[in-house]
Amino acid sequence: MERTRGRISLKEQMQNHVHTSTEEKEQYEGDFGKVISTGSTLLDLAISGGRIRGGGLPGGILVEIFGPSGSGKTVLLSEIAGAVQRQGGEIKFFDPEARLNKQFAKLFGLKLNDEDYHKPDTIPEVFSAVRDWKPEKGDVINGVFADSLTALSTDLEMTNKEGDKIGMRRAKEFSEELRKTCRILTKNNYLMVCSNQVRQNLDAGPYGQKYTTPGGEAMGFYSSLRLRTFKPEKITEKRMVKGKEVKRVIGVQVQIEVFKSSIWSPYHTAPLTILFDYGIDNLRDELQFLKDFTGSSVYAIGELKLNNSIERAIKIVEQENLEEKLKEEVINLWEEIEHSFESKRKVKIRM
């Protein structure tokens, strides 16, 4: 492999990772032969833009999305599940809180039927079903989704009046089930994405972890990728109706951090805009990313000026079918930024 000024370029890194044989890979590194989009270009890039152009989620890994209530976790699960189906894969969707309705799922092109959709009560119900699953197609990424792990119980909790007071059995079951299931995910190239809520850790002390996720430490240990969602910020819009100004909250914007990653570098961040009647507004985030970085007074794609209003700029992109051109501009700029952070150190000499 050629070296550039004593370092491996981002492009070479991507080519090297994509062509690495299965035998040479780490177990939980992911299979980048095919990837699944999160529905957000910037989040895809934050997850694995240095592994494959455009980024995305590889098969064969466990992903945990954790954060406060209302921060887009279910939206992301639904978007990723819909993307798996659009690429020809099958899904299993576990919904212990029974919150996902078919109308909501349609926003993401997600088609649910009785065979795909389950309302489990306990931890083993989810993971044993994954291990027994036999999708018809093996040459695509098939996906398993659980929303949310917080709601899952143990048989002890379900049958014992005193339950599992200190959560020891729950943590043990998560550990046992994940240990057995992650091997199946890797072997069959399944993508498993789970959501989890954060809770305040009152026993953390001044130097401990302030927030924890339910289920003990197993999810954090076995997940190849952990995405943390932060408290959402409201998006409001004003409309004139019969001469009177009306203001409404139409969506939220959430910051997402790659909290842990064994598939690429951690701690990249990305914004995610969610409109209540639309889903993930990827065009809005792409246009804002370009405008913020260039400091332009108008929204633009390269030299093509659009408008100084984000709503009008989005409308132009959609009317002129400029979605792919916009995405390429965002990827090119993002890669240029990443190139600027590449190490300029001489390649280390191994003795």
Asked whether residue 29 is domain-assigned, the answer is yes
Poorest-pLDDT segment among 110-114, 262-266, 313-317, 321-325: 110-114
Q: Is the same domain home to 160 and 293? A: no
Do 48 and 161 fall into the same domain?
Answer: yes
What span, in angstroms and rounded, lies between the C-alpha atoms of 114 and 327?
Answer: 36
Q: Is 178 domain-assigned?
A: yes
Tell me which residue range forms the domain holding 316: 282-341
Q: Are residues 22 and 89 in the same domain?
A: yes
Are 71 and 135 members of one domain? yes
Q: Per the domain annotation, does 240 fall within a domain? A: no
Residue 183 inside a domain? The answer is yes
One domain for residues 290 and 222: no
Q: How confident is the model at residue 72 (pLDDT cuts 50, 70, 90)?
A: very high
How many residues does this entry show for the chain? 351
Cα diameter, the chain: 78
**pLDDT band at residue 17 under the 50/70/90 scheme:** very low
- 64, exposed or middle or buried, with CB in 10 Å at 0-12, 13-18, 19+? buried
**4 lies in some domain:** no
Residue 213 lies in a domain: yes
Select from 245, 272, 299 the last residue of a domain: 272
Question: 258 and 228, same structural domain?
Answer: yes
My answer on whether 114 and 217 are in the same domain is yes
Is 137 part of a structural domain of the chain?
yes
**Ramachandran angles phi, psi of 36, nearest 5°:** -115, 135
Contacts of 324 (CB under 8 A, 6+ apart): none
State what percent of residues in the chain have pLDDT above 90: 67
CB 168 within 8 A of CB 215: no
142 and 263 both lie in a single domain: yes
What value does the mean pLDDT of the chain take? 87
Residues 88 and 228 grouped into a single domain: yes
Q: What is the domain count for the chain? A: 2
Among residues 221, 240, 272, the one where a domain terminates is 272
Task: Check whether residue 71 and residue 89 sit in a common domain.
Answer: yes
SS3 of residue 81 by DSSP: helix
Q: What is the pLDDT of residues 76-128, one digit of tens each?
A: 999 999 999 999 999 999 999 888 887 888 889 999 888 899 999 999 999 99
Let me know whether 263 and 292 are in one domain. Answer: no
Query: Domain boundary at 272, 303, 321, which?
Result: 272
Q: How far is CA 17 from CA 12, 14, 22, 57, 63, in A?
A: 9, 5, 11, 14, 20
Angle at 269 between CA 329 and CA 221, to 5 degrees: 130
Q: Does 198 or 202 have the greater pLDDT score?
A: 198
Same domain as 143, residue 80: yes
Q: In CATH, what number is assigned to the domain containing residue 66? A: 3.40.50.300
CA-nearest of 46, 64, 68, 71 to 56 is 46
Asked if residue 194 is part of any domain, the answer here is: yes
Distance, CA of 282 to CA of 302 (rounded, Å) = 18
DSSP assignment of 257-322, as one string?
Answer: EEEEESSS-S--EEEEEEETTTEE-HHHHHHHHHHHHHT-SSEEETTEEEESSHHHHHHHHHHTT-
User: Which of the four pLDDT bands, split at 50, 70 and 90, describes residue 175?
Assistant: very high
